[in-house]
Structure 1
Amino acid sequence: MNNVLSLKDVRLALEGNAGLIEILHGITLDVPQGETLGLVGPSGSGKSSLLMLMGGLENATGGTITALGQDLTSMSEDQLARFRRDNMGVVFQSFHLIPTMTALENVATPLELAGHKDAFERAYQELETVGLAQRADHYPAQMSGGEQQRVALARASAPRPKILLADEPTGNLDGANGTAIMDMLFGLRDRHGATLVLVTHSNELARRCDRVIRLRDGQIENMQKAAE
């Protein structure tokens, strides 16, 4: 089976006020191409930290992480940034939109930086896909939380990434908006054939995943098919 992500004995320790804090303890995990993997567990279990390591947004302090055959743990910050730009889409709970840019500019700018000559055309198409073409010229402060998250989804999807990472994508939204974002997230996955890894507290969202891994105290407590 072709694994898109492979983690071997991955560890993460961060310096805190009380000294070194062990966040993740020897995580070994393979994510095959096309899988949707849910990461669940109590607050502080290491879910978001594990997702950040998978995206090269945090540096592991031990072990190896391979994405699409490339060793992320041996890359420089610039190399990681280029790898994410070309291969990954990331969606955060708090949207991370640039407040001084319109919805269209927020989606188009990463495409421009990647050298796509049709950046604005593609960005507008992605906004149409998430139902926000009419809000293309609006700034984040002029949009609701659900609309901002849809812009974030469009931005993550526009480069047509092979790997899509989502950290609590429905965490700041009410029930109706959360359901809409879930539907859009899985729709974008299907449209581009991406491998999707998401962190969630939502049982409904976890049930839609192919496999669910539960973390506790920085270790894998168990993993199972979501339907089990």
Structure 2
Amino acid sequence: MVLALHDVSLSLDGNAGRVDILHGITLDVAARETVGLVGPSGSGKSSLLMVMGGLERATGGTVRALDHDLTAMDEDALARFRREHMGVVFQSFHLIPTMTALENVATPLELAGAADAFERAEAELEAVGLGHRIGHYPSQMSGGEQQRVALARAAAPRPHVLLADEPTGNLDAATGEQIMDLLFGLRDRHGATLILVTHSRQLAERCDRVVRLVDGRLDAAVREAAE
């Protein structure tokens, strides 16, 4: 299994005290599988995605990714693991405004020690249709173009796992559809496992499997299927 979660829980401290977000999540994801995470707002979808990527540390249970125990890693080890094995795309683009499209994609590769960082970055920007925009800054690009840069940045390290949190949430319907076609194309080109948080029924239907969360728990039908 690429991802294996066993009895995972997540609790966070807020202004009103401790909040329980995830409860006893047990879930396996196979290599090259595409899983859609769906459910009502506040059901824990994004939190589960963050736990899968080691961006949020589970407060109970175990999370294994590519046979590594993320729950046993310190922050530095988690950062290295994500850099080498995972690509993440958010609803907000998280581009560095003072860097060009090419620099935004190449910089993580440089930090990872890739000698061909800029060549790979340019190839990924070409793959998302932005070869003519490599010298432009985020402020000079539309929202759809910025999300394409974010996709290229996530795909450039050739990750084993792609995590996408509502990647079309800030885009109009037509642009969002183009972005999703590109995301699925990147998945196919790199042979990656894709975990996708979405509110779109149409998008969920493109996934190999749909996992529904309700109040931080797996839907009963999902549990039965897993068992």
**TM-score of the two chains, using structure 2 as the length reference:** 0.97
Alpha-carbon separation, structure 2, partners of 1:73 and 1:53: 9
5+ long unaligned stretches in structure 1 = none
Quote how far apart the aligned CAs of 1:204 are: 1.3
**Structure 2: gaps (5+ residues):** none
1:195 aligned residue (193, 196, 199): 193
Q: Tell me the residue number matched to 2:216.
A: 218
- Structure 1 residue identity aligned to 2:76: D
Cα-to-partner distance string for 1:24-63 (whole Å, 9 max, x where unaligned): 0010000011100000001000000000000000011000
- Residue in 2 that maps onto 1:44: 42
Amino acid aligned to 2:179: I
How many residue pairs are counted as aligned between the two chains?
Answer: 222
* Residue of structure 2 in register with 1:183 after alignment: 181
- Are the counterparts in 2 of residues 95 and 149 from structure 1 also a CA contact under 8 Å? yes
Partner of 1:163: 161
Percent of aligned pairs with the same amino acid:
76
Following superposition, which runs of at least 4 residues in structure 1 exceed 4 angstroms of deviation? none
**How far apart, in 1, do the equivalents of 2:143 and 2:118 lie?**
23
Say which SS state the counterpart of residue 2 (structure 2) adopts: strand
Match of 2:96 in 1: 98
Partner SS, residue 80 of structure 1: helix
Letter in structure 2 aligned against 1:19: G
1:223 is displaced (CA, Å) by 3.1
Q: Which amino acid aligns with 2:215?
A: D
Q: Which amino acid letter does the alignment assign opposite residue 122 of structure 2?
A: Y
Instruction: Kindly provide the CA deviation profile for residues 78-118 of structure 1, in whole angstroms up to 9, marking residues without a partner as x.
Output: 00000000000000000111111000000000110111111
TM-score, length of structure 1 as denominator length: 0.96
CA deviation after TM superposition for structure 1 residue 215, in Å? 0.3
Q: Aligned-pair distance for 1:155?
A: 0.3
